[in-house]
A and B are shown apart, each in its own frame.
Chain A
Amino acid sequence: GAVVSQHPSWVICKSGTSVKIECRSLDFQATTMFWYRQFPKQSLMLMATSNEGSKATYEQGVEKDKFLINHASLTLSTLTVTSAHPEDSSFYICSARHPAGGGETQYFGPGTRLLVL
């Protein structure tokens, strides 16, 4: 099956610091990856679409200068939360689009819990 990893699985940081989260597709190449955020008991919220070799596409209301996305290779996308604040504390989940079967299936990473103190 398709495996997507995320690192770190959880992080605690001080307000004002930056945090980088990595998303890797382990057994397939993904030209497109997605970054989601999920608050407790709420639904997934798509933050941005990450395309290999080009700029990410951000959803309305998501600050691109605060959430920096880099998709430098076909197996790695990174999300950097810059100058994190307590309100950025959330569960960040990435997914990767698998190329098989029309390339529309997304496989999710295990998620990263961010707590900003």
Chain B
Amino acid sequence: QKEVEQNSGPLSVPEGAIASLNCTYSDRVSQSFFWYRQYSGKSPELIMSIYSNGDKEDGRFTAQLNKASQYVSLLIRDSQPSDSATYLCAVTSGGFKTIFGAGTRLFVKA
């Protein structure tokens, strides 16, 4: 079982819709959770971090964490073609070991 799992996609949504990206993790003692965006040919860029259960909003992005179910999600409201990228989920457990998921490709159709 992979430690951090994401659907590889591609996830295709129309412009203006909500894109929902999901991530599950296996280590119950995980403490910190991150979403990165990676455009093709570029390095990852930090979008959101979340540490406690619930929702965290930043502009059009909302991260959701449910530690009991061991999943973290990222919602992108009013999706734009410029949001088309690969989204990486990252989970940090004790000892500061950060595990990255393989990423979900998002395609926003104009």
Contacts and interface: CB of A to CB of B under 8 A. Distances in A.
Given A44-B88, A102-B32, A106-B90, A32 B96 contact: yes
Contact of B32 (A104, A107, A109): A104
Interface residues of A, number: 18
B interface: dominant SS = strand
Interface stretch (B38-46, B53-61, B62-70, B76-84): B38-46
Interface string A76-89: 00000000000000
A104 B49 CA distance: 10
Nearest to A102: B32
A106 B45 CA distance: 9
Interface string A100-114: 011111111111000
B47 to A, nearest CB: 12
Interface residues of B, number: 20
Contacts of A95: 44
Contacts of A104: 31-32, 92, 96, 98
A46 B99 CA distance: 9
Contacts of B101: 43
A103 to B, nearest CB: 7
Given A43-B100, A95-B44, A108-B36, 5 more contacts: A43-B88, A102-B31, A102-B51, A104-B92, A104-B96
Interface of B: 31-32, 34, 36, 42-46, 49, 51, 88, 90, 92, 96, 98, 100-103
14 contacts: A43-B88, A43-B101, A43-B102, A44-B88, A46-B100, A95-B44, A104-B32, A104-B92, A106-B46, A106-B98, A108-B44, A108-B45, A108-B46, A110-B43
